[in-house]
A and B are shown apart, each in its own frame.
Chain A
Amino acid sequence: MTESPPAVEIRHLVKDFQTSFKRQPLRAVDDVSIRIMPGEVYGLIGPNGSGKSTTMKALLGLVAPTAGQCAIFGKDSMKVDSRNEVGFLPENPYFYKHLSGEETLEFYGKLCGIKGKKLKDRVGELLELVDLKEASHRRIGGYSKGMLQRIGLAQALIQEPRLVILDEPTAGVDPVGSREIRDLIFKLKEQGITVFLCSHLLEQVQEVCDHVGIIFRGKMVKEGKLEDLIAIEDQTELVMKDASPELVAQIEALIKSDASASLVRTGKPRTTLERLFLRETVGRNDAK
């Protein structure tokens, strides 16, 4: 049995941009290699201008690599047929304002060769998935930022791709919208769709990704499984519920009695501001 090719394979990617005023070209991506296996959710993180979007564009054939190769499911990214299996949501997407949400999805579906009842069904299914059924006949020009991101995600999924590339999927979206997009990414993961996303919202990446790459000034500085990367090897966490002060004191005394171990801190775990916000806003709406 032959092993299935990686969903994404970027090998020693280098991308230089010629600048008008400087003779020296600007190196946006410097020897970056990424391998994403089918079904994985990979997060590429890095500060603004670190080369995340350029890496994604090279993978989609929107920019040509100066050196190195990119492939999607074993097909060269510079070839059009590699894009049969991929859906892309660019950063801050703008769609044709004169089209409604439904027409937008139909347009992208037809570009992928889907037509007739199949297209109609797929459009309905996606509008349901991204919760835009009610706004499907409204012109895109009147959509909010969050709605634009969701219709963008729907267009990326129109031809049922095996790989979805999301460039800053929650940029400029409020916490509720951000949570909805995150839930959609979880749904994609459940369906076995490979997701390659880039973001500088680290908490979000941590929540959804299996693998992470950190890119800085065009270079990949750290890469691996998320749990391996963020684990502090010499520390152990113990979270207890309804523990009495006496029990805590006993445990602390036990630690003190061991010469090789030390207590780093004790206290109550904290929720995140985002979770608090969602509980106080969405939770209240649900209660009503």
Chain B
Amino acid sequence: MNPLSNTIAHASRIRVIAFHAFTQLVRMKVFYFLAFFALILIGSNFFNLPQHEGPEAAGVNILHSIKSWSLGAMTLFSVVLSIVATALLLPKDVEDRTLYTILAKPVPRLDYLAGKLLGVLLLVFVSLAMMDVLMTGILHIRTNMVMESQVAFAESRGHSAEQIALLKSDIMAQGATASLQGAVFSVFLRATIIASMALLISTFSTSTLFTTIISFLIYFMGHFQADARAAYFTSEAGTSDSFLARGISLLISLALPDFQLFNVIDAVIEGQVLPLFILGKLTLIGLFYAVFYVISSWFIFAKKEF
């Protein structure tokens, strides 16, 4: 088989396994669960929160609230889905012996792992896309409502056309911006890292519960990784003390992603712009960890006996 047809064969097998994993998860009625929570979430955004701002800011806090709740829920769903779905798929195949029949076919173990991971990521992506559509739709409606009331208020106060244009652009910045879509994409990137990490853990644990618990622990630890490295391995001058300290610090960042990097989402909720290079950096980080974890999983899984 020539290299091109070999690559096509690999891609085809990965696609088959990915779509199968996606179907398997969908038929577990995952979307019912998501839709239920998404509806609660979207509904909760219509609650009137106590307002501490003057009438010139009325409604803007609702836009904040919609973004904050939506992105919070997206983060929660994507993290839970990534960990639980990945932790479930591999041990289930081993327990049910379906893995025997798959690996007895001409399926390289790397293709199997990559397919399973991509299936989970496809599910997370579709879930986030559905939630994003809901969030964007509601934000769009709400932004228009806020805009109308604010413009009417400004006009009643006799503000100039420039002031009104500035007001409009400020309100638009709180709405469904491109940066907001970037923030949703960074939620997906974070989920990609977590799912790949859960895949690695599940290759040696074979227990769904163990994989789930350890993955959540690592996820939480990832939020303190940068602080811990700064506290233990960096001097006051801001440089690492020794070669050993630098080595340990590097190893920690290799094994444990710094999830604080993804806190750019908070700035987007505040209406700030998410620079493209930051999103590019996050994409590269996501890809790096996904590839690193999948290859590490393969090293373990390739030697695994069933």
Contacts and interface: CB of A to CB of B under 8 A. Distances in A.
B20 to A, nearest CB: 6
Interface stretch (B97-105, B218-226, B230-238): B97-105
Interface string A54-82: 00010011111000000000000000110
Interface stretch (A89-97, A123-131, A256-264): A89-97
Contacts of A83: 104-107
A86 interface: yes
11 contacts: A62-B104, A84-B106, A88-B104, A90-B97, A90-B100, A90-B101, A98-B23, A110-B13, A111-B17, A113-B9, A156-B101
A173 B141 CA distance: 62
Interface string A114-136: 00000000000000000000000
B98 A159 contact: no
B108 interface: yes
A102 to B, nearest CB: 14
B203 to A, nearest CB: 15
A94 B23 contact: no
Given A107-B16, A111-B105, A94 B96 contact: yes
A80 B24 contact: no
A26 interface: no
A234 B174 CA distance: 98
Contacts of B260: none
Nearest to A58: B305
B12 interface: yes
Nearest to A84: B106
Nearest to A95: B98
Contacts of A84: 106
Contact of B306 (A62, A89, A92, A93): A62
A112 B105 contact: yes
Chain A interface residue bracket vs B: 20 to 34
Given A62-B305, A64-B303, A111-B16, A92 B103 contact: no
Nearest to A103: B23
B27 interface: yes
A159 B105 contact: yes
Q: Across the A-B interface, give the 9 residue pairs with the lowest CB-CB distance, nearest first.
A: A88-B104, A98-B27, A94-B96, A63-B305, A110-B16, A90-B100, A83-B106, A111-B105, A62-B306
A152 interface: yes
A199 interface: no
Interface in B203-252: none
A83 B103 CA distance: 9
Contacts of B98: 93-96
Given A96-B20, A98-B24, A111-B13, A63 B104 contact: no
A84 B9 CA distance: 13
Given A62-B305, A64-B305, A113-B9, A93 B101 contact: yes
A149 interface: no
A94 B305 CA distance: 19
Interface string B18-39: 0010011001100000000000
B190 to A, nearest CB: 28
Contact of B101 (A57, A63, A88, A113): A88
A60 B103 CA distance: 8
Contacts of B303: 64
Contacts of B9: 113
Interface string B97-122: 11011111111100000000000000
Contacts of B12: 110, 113
Contacts of B28: 98
A108 interface: yes
A136 B27 CA distance: 18
Given A88-B104, A93-B97, 4 more contacts: A62-B306, A63-B306, A86-B104, A90-B101
Contacts of A93: 97-98, 100-101
Nearest to B21: A96
A92 B97 contact: yes
